[in-house]
Chain A
């Protein structure tokens, strides 16, 4: 089992600390969820872990070994941002070649997208674009997968297939997932952290989300 520990992350914009008290552990076989209200720093934390946003301090350990370089430089991490990030003109065939992925396997998960092989990314619908990106990130070779809002834009059936894909891949890869569609996150994640005012707290029950002001009690 591989374990990634993320700690001592400090990041501030001006005088305000956006991230200050972070300790998150993620491991293979148990996807980890990250929940929080808008503007609390979920995407920022993911970018810091990914390595595209430099922090004042950050400590990342893989299997108790502290990394000297960022996960990005080590090529141990893949990141699904909350927006579409594939080049608009790229064909699905080219993108799959870049990520070294099998289109046949993709079709076995998403048979409805059989016709997309030679099409350009910008001609796909919003949901189809998201599925292609999620699949590419989940199936790429890196150890840690950071998924920022993977369930947004997906139909309920697509979200279910994506959940199954994440669970299947999580046996050998580490997942950190954030999404406001928190039911999906709670459904597949063994451990869930709540991010508020720059620090994280591990939560154990759905009721805690109500207590923390993330959900309403009358739901």
Chain B
């Protein structure tokens, strides 16, 4: 399995999280712009809570599809660790951009 195909498969998996997480990111950024840095801790925990919720929902819906990724050398832990890390990274980057823009 080439690295390119593995990467492509990771992004295919990440798509399940991307859209709901992007909606949450937009909402939380709007709240951050409205209320400022004081609200950061609260929106950070909201972000974590939403990711846990998405994990539970996607995990239930895509249970069978994990075997597609297993057959390409991915395991569930690696897929979720990378997906959530990337999502949190995007969230932090958006907050930093919003903070500089404010």
Please report A residues at the B interface, Cβ cutoff 8 Å: 50-52, 72, 75, 78-79, 81, 83-88, 90, 97-98, 100, 137, 140-141
Contact = CB atoms under 8 A, between A and B. Distances in A.
B42 interface: no
Contact of A140 (B62, B71, B75): B71
B64 A83 contact: yes
A142 to B, nearest CB: 8
B73 A98 contact: no
A121 to B, nearest CB: 10
A-B CB proximity, top 4 nearest? A85-B67, A85-B64, A75-B73, A81-B67
A84 B70 CA distance: 14
A137 B64 contact: no
A80 B65 CA distance: 11
A75 B75 CA distance: 11
Given A75-B1, A87-B12, A98 B72 contact: yes
A87 B75 CA distance: 15
B81 to A, nearest CB: 16
Contact of B65 (A87, A98, A137): A87
A87 B67 CA distance: 10
Given A81-B67, A87-B65, A137-B71, 12 more contacts: A51-B70, A52-B66, A52-B67, A52-B70, A75-B1, A84-B64, A85-B64, A85-B66, A85-B71, A86-B65, A87-B12, A98-B72
Interface string B1-35: 10001001100100000000000000000000000
Contacts of A79: 67, 70-71
Contacts of A51: 70
B57 to A, nearest CB: 15
A52 B94 CA distance: 36
A124 to B, nearest CB: 15
Contacts of B75: 52, 72
B49 interface: no
B68 A100 contact: no
Given A52-B70, A98-B72, A85 B5 contact: no
Contacts of B72: 98
A172 B68 CA distance: 23
Contacts of A78: 71
Contacts of B70: 50-52, 72, 79
Nearest to B2: A100
Contacts of A87: 12, 62, 65, 68
B62 to A, nearest CB: 8
A15 to B, nearest CB: 26
Nearest to A70: B75
Contacts of A86: 65, 68
Contacts of B5: 97-98, 100
B3 to A, nearest CB: 13
